[in-house]
Structure 1
Amino acid sequence: MKRWTCLLISVPLKTKSSERAIIASCCACVGMGASLGFIPGFLATVLSEDLDISRGKIGLIVGIYFGATGIGSIPAGRFTDKFGARKIATINMLLVAGSSLLIAIFNSYAIWIIGSVVGGMGYALGNTSTNVAIGHAVPIERRAMAMSVKTSGVPLMATIAAATAPWAANVWSWQRVVVFNAIVAAITGLFTYIVLDDNRSESTTGAAPTPLPKDFYWFGIAAFLLIGGSQPLYSWTVSYLEESLDAPASLSGGIMAIASFTGVIVMICNGIWADRLGALKRIPLVMLLLSISALSVGLVILGTVIGTFIVVIGLTLGVSTQLAAIGTMHAAVIDKAPKSVGRATGITMTGYYLGALVTPAGFGLLVDISDTYIYSWLATLAILITAVGAWYRAGKVQAQRH
């Protein structure tokens, strides 16, 4: 009897979550974590009229959200190492849900800003915790695929939001859209808490922290330019279609939804390809994808001359290559710093979300000043070309030894 009692006590109460369940949970977590950074762009026309604010101020909501994520990314890596991936990812969802409720209840621009700060800080927790969780659960030969599936949570969320949010806001109200977002974030938080494990980096298990590779800051710079040059495709194309090409809100949202869904498929296929290419060729793949994104922005610019169909082609191509580049970027971070995933993710995502802070507000402000979208799209094109060079330099960083 004692023997069987000892055996029962030795069995852990919570079995290890399956690899697929962990990836699915991380996918849902990052998708909902980014939701408040995308919804204002999809509701730009309604918010502008209801709150009596300019495009630049709507862009500022988006920029502050991702800027707060950037500022919180380095501390988020430390918190994940201390408290574990499960707790930190769950807190992310609770903060997004709480911010959404505050925004819906108080119905003011000031609360949108406060909600963006709180929700954005929470999203930083989600990025680092999900990277650590996947870094522990998925072997290197399947890691790019896993990171691509995880990152696909963002375009999946964007697909649904772009297709439904403008329509729902016109039929009911934008406040109900944000309340629904809070409910989904809370459900995702519960799922995350059940599925994820309390993974931490080696620095919290008694081993001395491993220094990051020399010149790793180039990942932060390259990530800044990557998102700075590609985020407007998500944040501003819907309003560009409505205001410059006179497209109905439902059609504009539908076009974005199709582009986002196509991007998910391309992202996952790219993840499979990136795994086959191996770690050494992942950064050159990012450079190729960003070059194609630059071409797609050129097609979007031609929309005012050729028509809506060329914008659809450019948007679909641009969103697909952007998403594929982001998924490959996350895998490349772990390739270069496999022993310091939390800190490496923190540095990379600080640059990434600071880029997301500057671009939406800057894009909208330039539109307000010039009364045209053309100059903003040209600036976006220039940033993407610069990003290719920055990723070339990041590829020269020497990886940590396993």
Structure 2
Amino acid sequence: MSRTPSQARVLGGTVVAVVSSVLPAFLVGALSVELRDSLGYDESAAGLLLASFFGAGALSSVFMGRISERVGSLLFLRWAALLTLLVQLGIALLVQSYTALLVGLLVAGLVNAIAQPAANVAVARHVAVSRQGLALAIKQSAMPAASLIAGASLSALVTAYGWQVGFGVGVVVAATALVVLPARAPEITFNGRGRPAEEADERDAPLRALVMLSVAVGLGAAAGVGLVGFLAESAAGAGLAPEVVGPLYACGSALTIVVRLVAGRSADRRPRSSIGVVVTMLGLGAASFLVLAIPAGWAQIAGAPLAFGAAWGWPGLFNLSVIRTNPVAPGRATGVTQTGTYVGAIVGPLLFGMLIDVWSYSAAWIAAAALAWGSALAMLYSRAIIRRARATGEMPSAPAHLPRPAAG
């Protein structure tokens, strides 16, 4: 009789699998100079690469979320890790043209759509309810952490051996996920009994609430991805020297990680949805964007930490809220909301770039503030839908307390 894998092993494998699935997009961004020189494409074509990655995810996320419920989250994550390994190995060994790289990113985007909802289901099914906030915070923090580490450590290797070594590192990460992830384990629902996903409509949030949450997270993601993509250039344009811009960006990214972890651990002490906290963070983020709209160095230094911490520190709390209000079929629910994240990741950089080209960085940051406020309002509306559903008996009432952590 096989032993049930520990929560630490499940979480560790889940985090590594998610990191491996998003690394192709990070690597295309981090290695953009080397890739453009080698394959001969321009900046607009580089944007199409990332759009193809997130676009493929947006088109398949809902379907993959449903499948992850039926197949089993850990097995689905293992499939994602294996496919990611093959995709990155193929890019490293076979890609010699822009078209081939574009196809590789399309496939990688589909694989990421497998990994993201499956990872959320893995946390919901295999991590104690009273630890899920921190678990999701670690999952969401792994991605910016991987980006920081990749940017710092790959430059020397790529300079010496070429851009292919970056995707070689991605192969190693995916292989690590395959080793760490358990082959399978019992899928346990919120109330401790196995229940099929088809029962979701009896217990989970109504579809109209999920659609509104998808809109909300899309607006918030558009603002957050714009922040990550354009803060450095905005700060440089405001007169800050490169030796200031680099540490400012690194400190902001590190603060994002810290806020996600602290907020996740704090949410574990509260049984109810954290949407209200997310709304507050988005409101503070909107204010920080208005500070960044001031074209002065001091404004960039003052606004950047708050922007990274508030405007981009909420995704873990958001996913926790979705899982708590959809205990029977979290894969289906997060598959719907993840679609909004993908769309926001596509639209945000395109909107920022257009506003900067036509007007200025100030216009882009004002638009980011509007996106953050729109996201907050959409989340408040979705919360009202859920509260109405509970009041009418369409959903059960929220738990009064969380169970104590299970051993392991």
Where on the TM-score scale, by shorter chain, does this alignment land: which range? 0.7 to 0.9
Partner of 1:229 in structure 2? Answer: 223
Match of 1:263 among 240, 256, 268: 256
The alpha carbon displacement at 1:255 in A equals 4.5
Q: Is residue 401 from structure 1 mapped to residue 396 from structure 2 by the alignment? A: yes
Partner of 2:200 in structure 1? Answer: 210
Partner of 1:293 in structure 2? Answer: 285
TM-score (norm 2): 0.83
SS at match of 1:324: coil
Check 1:322–1:42 CA distance in 2 against 1; reply closer, same or farther (3 A cut).
farther
Check 1:55–1:239 CA distance in 2 against 1; reply closer, same or farther (3 A cut).
farther
Q: CA separation in 2, counterparts of 1:137 and 1:184?
A: 22
Report matched runs for 1:161-180 at 5 Å.
161-166=150-155, 168-170=157-159, 172-180=161-169
Match of 1:76 among 30, 55, 64: 64
Partner of 2:297 in structure 1? Answer: 306
Q: CA separation in 2, counterparts of 1:160 and 1:150?
A: 16
Check 1:175–1:256 CA distance in 2 against 1; reply closer, same or farther (3 A cut).
farther
Partner of 2:314 in structure 1? Answer: 325
Partner of 1:3 in structure 2? Answer: none
Query: Please, which moves more after superposition, 339-348 or 109-118?
Result: 109-118
Q: Is residue 382 from structure 1 mapped to residue 376 from structure 2 by the alignment? A: no
Match of 2:178 among 189, 207, 214: 189
For this pair of structures, how many residues does the alignment match? 383
Match of 1:274 among 267, 274, 297: 267
Alpha carbons 1:133, 1:197 under 8 Å: kept: no
Q: Which runs of 5+ in 2 are unaligned?
A: 398-408
Partner of 1:9 in structure 2? Answer: none
Alpha carbons 2:5, 2:182 under 8 Å: kept: no
Q: CA separation in 2, counterparts of 1:234 and 1:290?
A: 15
Which amino acid in the other structure matches residue 140 of structure 1? V
TM-score (norm 1): 0.84
Alpha carbons 2:214, 2:337 under 8 Å: kept: yes
Q: CA separation in 1, counterparts of 2:330 and 2:74?
A: 16
Which amino acid in the other structure matches residue 359 of structure 1? G
Check 1:270–1:291 CA distance in 2 against 1; reply closer, same or farther (3 A cut).
same
Alpha carbons 1:30, 1:151 under 8 Å: kept: no
Check 1:239–1:305 CA distance in 2 against 1; reply closer, same or farther (3 A cut).
closer
Alpha carbons 2:50, 2:105 under 8 Å: kept: yes
Partner of 1:110 in structure 2? Answer: 99
The alpha carbon displacement at 1:122 in A equals 0.9
